[in-house]
Every structure is written in structure tokens, then in C-alpha cells.
Amino acid sequence: EPEVTQTPSHQVTQMGQEVILRCVPISNHLYFYWYRQILGQKVEFLVSFYNNEISEKSEIFDDQFSVERPDGSNFTLKIRSTKLEDSAMYFCASSEAVQANSPLHFGNGTRLTVT
Amino acid sequence: GESVGLHLPTLSVQEGDNSIINCAYSNSASDYFIWYKQESGKGPQFIIDIRSNMDKRQGQRVTVLLNKTVKHLSLQIAATQPGDSAVYFCAENRGNAGNMLTFGGGTRLMVKP
């Protein structure tokens, strides 16, 4: 079964550094998402992306965050200057369509630790 | 405030028994609901979904029930197995354009052999 893959599985960085989290969505999917989960808390929406532009973003997704689809297969999340509170699991997801009968399929996440 | 929440943070069941995991939602505009299973160290795994024009949907060993009158969603797992042990999340789509899902807080299901 096709799956969403994320790299790296664990990223440790110092506060103030830039990080790029990478994702390869399912190949025939057109809609891409980033969610995050702070330890012990709910999964939270960050951003959705379609046709090379952001469709929707949450309040969490401030100017420090950006997303990009640099080629036909990768989808990246960049955090420009990491803060301690950015430490979380970051999940990439994709779906075939954006209608509300197209479930999101998630990757296994990247654990980001900011020290 | 508007949120998706779960009644029981931990549910412990005997192997072979049926499990019922509950979820309450407060936004009557939500039109699509999904149950996800999350095992340790993995991402949420799609289990089953239901649209608001339905009140029941069945999959393999799982059934989702939707009661729009009381804004309640449940996941029933038949003949629960040790491999079912995980955290289960309900999520709702509030009809927004970007297919944004709002997740509940999760229920941990523990299956005793």
C-alpha cells in the first residue's frame, strides 16, 4: 500500500537554527498538509497546500514557517529560526482531493527537538 | 469553545471483547468525521470515516456511529485484539475549504490478553 514517507525521523537542533523537514506524499495525491503534535497534546493543523500554493493555514503557521514543493515528489516544511516551543512531532499528510470524503494519509512523523 | 473531545482517556478491555470509543463534537457545521489509530512512534493511521448524511458505517471489524442530534461519534471494534492497542483519535472536518481536520484529544485503548 502506498504511504507517505518523512525524513529525518528525528532532528535535533539548537534554538535559532533553521530546519527543513521533508516529506514524500503518495504519488497520485494532489493535496498536502503539515500537522504537529506536541508531546501529550492533540494533533494540530498547520497548513494545507495545493497547486503550489497554501490553501489554508492556522495561527500556529506564522512567518517563521514556510512550505515548498521543490520538485514533483517532495514537500517540505521549513522553520526559519527555531524556538524551544517548536519541539514536537511534525506529521506530513496527503489526500487525493480536498473534498470532505478524501481521507488524509499521514506519514510517521519527524520528531523535532529544539535545545 | 468549539472542540472535539473524548470522554475516556484510557479504555482497558479483555482480548476478544468488543470496544467502544466515544467522541463528542460541538460544531454542528462539521460534515465529515474520521477515526485514526496511532501506535507508538507512528503517525495517525486512517481507520474509517463517515459523512454527516449517514449515521452508521461499517468496515472490517470496525463500525462508526454518528448521532448528529447529540453531536456524538463512536468507534466500535469487534473482537478486540492485542494489535488494536493504540491511541484512537476522532477528527472532524468543519466544511472548510482546505480540508483542515480538527482532532480530539485521543483515547488510549489497552487490550489485556
- The alpha-carbon gap from B66 to the nearest alpha carbon of chain A, in Å, equals 15
Please judge whether A42 and B31 are an interchain contact, meaning their C-beta atoms are less than 8 angstroms apart. no
Between strands A110-114 and B101-103, the pairing is unpaired
Q: Which residues on chain A are in Cβ contact (under 8 Å) with B45?
A: 106
Q: What is the pLDDT at residue A98?
A: 66
Q: How many CB atoms lie within 10 A of CB B43?
A: 23
Asked if residues B30 and B42 have their Cβ atoms less than 8 Å apart, the reply is no
Is the pLDDT score of B73 beyond 60? yes
| In the block, residue with C-alpha cell 456511529 | B65
Q: Which residues on chain B are in Cβ contact (under 8 Å) with A48?
A: 98-100
The beta-carbon neighbor of B98 closest among A6, A56, A109 is A56
**DSSP letter at A86?**
G
Q: What is the pLDDT at residue B26?
A: 79
| B70-91: average pLDDT | 96
Please judge whether A42 and B103 are an interchain contact, meaning their C-beta atoms are less than 8 angstroms apart. yes
**In chain A, % of residues over pLDDT 70:** 97
Q: What is the pLDDT at residue B40?
A: 87
Is the pLDDT score of B94 beyond 80? no
Q: Which residues on chain B are in Cβ contact (under 8 Å) with A107?
A: 43
| A2-28: average pLDDT | 95
CA pseudo-torsion sign B70, B75, B76, B80: negative
Asked if residues B22 and B73 have their Cβ atoms less than 8 Å apart, the reply is yes
- Contacts of residue A6, Cβ cutoff 8 Å, sequence gap at least 6: A21, A22, A23, A24, A90, A91, A92, A107, A108, A109, A110, B43
**In chain B, % of residues over pLDDT 90:** 70
Please judge whether A4 and B43 are an interchain contact, meaning their C-beta atoms are less than 8 angstroms apart. yes
The region of weakest confidence among A17-21, A72-76, B92-96, B106-110 is: B92-96
Q: What is the pLDDT at residue B6?
A: 39
Q: What is the pLDDT at residue A23?
A: 97
Q: What is the pLDDT at residue A2?
A: 73
pLDDT confidence tier of residue B98, bands split at 50, 70 and 90: low
Is the pLDDT score of A34 beyond 70? yes
The region of weakest confidence among A17-26, A32-41, B20-29, B97-106 is: B97-106
Q: What is the pLDDT at residue B67?
A: 96
Residues A26 and A76: their CA atoms lie apart, in Å, by 14
